[in-house]
Amino acid sequence: AEPVKIRFILDWKAQGPGAWFYVARDKGYFAAEGLDVTIDQGDGSAAAVSHIMTGAYDAGFGDINAVIQNAAQRQGEQPLMVYMLYNRAPYALIVKADGPIKTLKDMEGHTLAAPAGSATERMFKPLALKNGVDAGKVKVLNAAPNLIEQLLVNGQADAIAQFAPTSYMNFLAMKKSPETDFRWFFYSENGLDLYSNGILVSQKLLKENPEAVRGLVKALNRAILEVAADPDEGIATLKKVEPLTNVDLEKQRLVYTVNQQLRTDEVARLGLGDLDDGRLQAAIKTVADAYALPRTPAMDEVFSRAFLPSKADRILPPAH
């Protein structure tokens, strides 16, 4: 039969942690499921959600918290997450180690730089709420994602809110030591236990072709596990897709992501792709409260485990 065409949008550029998407494509995993997937690089994990909502894309890789917000505001239009990948949200607030900010409370009266509308920026409000920080007293400086670390290093911002793997690698590229030069406040360690990016599908695809959704998830699951087991192969594929790829850097980024975002106790318990209902419920409430959403969406408006392969097929290989 004619392969099903799926337009797939990434959360960001073709970097290490996106290698599995290209592996699934280039090794024919999609084709094996009767899918013809085109992959476009994206401009933010929240934006990916919107891109699917406008109908430009059928599926993508994006942020569940943005799905929650949209589910509350535009009920029935939001994409559904069918595979949770970043089990631990990579959100981090980073300050200079020798700077004035020792605790989150010290943020008041200081400048926070973040990409506009990024998940880290959006989730700063809940973070502040949880930690008794008056978010109104923090000055936000919006800038392009690639400038954020510069603003911190140059002293134009006192703190930045970024995806941890991104900043980590960028500090390395800037010949700084991520561990000793900076102080990291992971949202997950400061009372904000959130999920983040996973595979999203549009309501339309869900309705018209649930089998394709199942195939998509299956193919990606296979590729993700494979790349997690053998990062070098994943990066090699990436290098073929984008010859300009900096192999060392992207491999580090990939490994960092796998170890920090994927490898959690919960994943060991439930397998990759699934999530804990209680935790999701709490996350939904956190987001709804922080944004004073008109309603609190139900869990099944946001996530569905109906398309996941069996747990045995979703076991993350051990770290090496």
Partner 1 sequence: MARITRVLSATAVILGFFGAWELLCRLLHVSDLVLPLPSQILVTLIERFPDLWPHLIQTIASTLAGFTFGVLAGVVIGVMVGSSRLAYDTLYPLLIGFSSVPKVAIIPIFVIWFGAGTIPAILTALSLSIFPVVVNVATGISTSEPELEDVLRALGASRRDILWNVALPRTLPYLFASLKVAITVAFIGSITSETIASNYGIGTVMMVASANFDVALLFAGLALISITGIALYGLFSFAEARFTGWATRKSAVA
With CB under 8 A as the contact rule, the residue among 6, 46, 85, 159 that binds partner 1 is 46
Q: Write each residue from 63 to 82 as x if it is in contact with partner 1 (CB under 8 A), else as -, in one continuous string.
A: --------------x-----
92 φ, ψ (degrees, to nearest 5): -145, 150
Q: Which helix (H) or strand (E) holds 114?
A: strand 111-114
Q: Which stretch binds partner 1 (CB under 8 A): 9-17, 189-197, 199-207, 215-223?
A: 9-17
Following DSSP, what letter does each residue of 18-68 receive, concatenated?
Answer: GHHHHHHHHTTHHHHTTEEEEEE--S-HHHHHHHHHTTS-SEEEEEHHHHH
Cα distances (Å, whole numbers) of residue 10 to 56, 57, 152: 13, 10, 27
- Examine residue 292 and tell whether it contacts partner 1 (CB under 8 A): no
With CB under 8 A as the contact rule, the residue among 1, 2, 54, 136 that binds partner 1 is 54
- Examine residue 17 and tell whether it contacts partner 1 (CB under 8 A): no
Least separation in angstroms between CB 13 and partner 1: 5
Instruction: Give the span between the Cα atoms of 177 and 24, in whole angstroms.
Output: 34
With CB under 8 A as the contact rule, the residue among 28, 55, 109, 317 that binds partner 1 is 55
Q: Write each residue from 231 to 260 as x if it is in contact with partner 1 (CB under 8 A), else as -, in one continuous string.
A: -----------xxx-x--x-----------
- Examine residue 319 and tell whether it contacts partner 1 (CB under 8 A): no
Q: Are 164 and 120 in contact (CB under 8 A)?
A: no
Q: Write each residue from 118 to 147 as x if it is in contact with partner 1 (CB under 8 A), else as -, in one continuous string.
A: x--------------------xxxxxxxxx
How is residue 243 annotated by DSSP?
T
Instruction: Give the span between the Cα atoms of 283 and 286, in whole angstroms.
Output: 5
Least separation in angstroms between CB 90 and partner 1: 15
- CB-side neighbour CA atoms (13 Å) of 287: 31
- CB-side neighbour CA atoms (13 Å) of 306: 13
Q: Among residue numbers 183 through 222, which ones bind partner 1 (CB under 8 A)?
A: none
Residues lying near partner 1 in the complex (CB under 8 A) are found at 7, 9, 12-15, 39-44, 46-47, 50-51, 53-57, 77, 113, 115-118, 139-147, 149-151, 154, 156, 166, 169-170, 173-175, 242-244, 246, 249
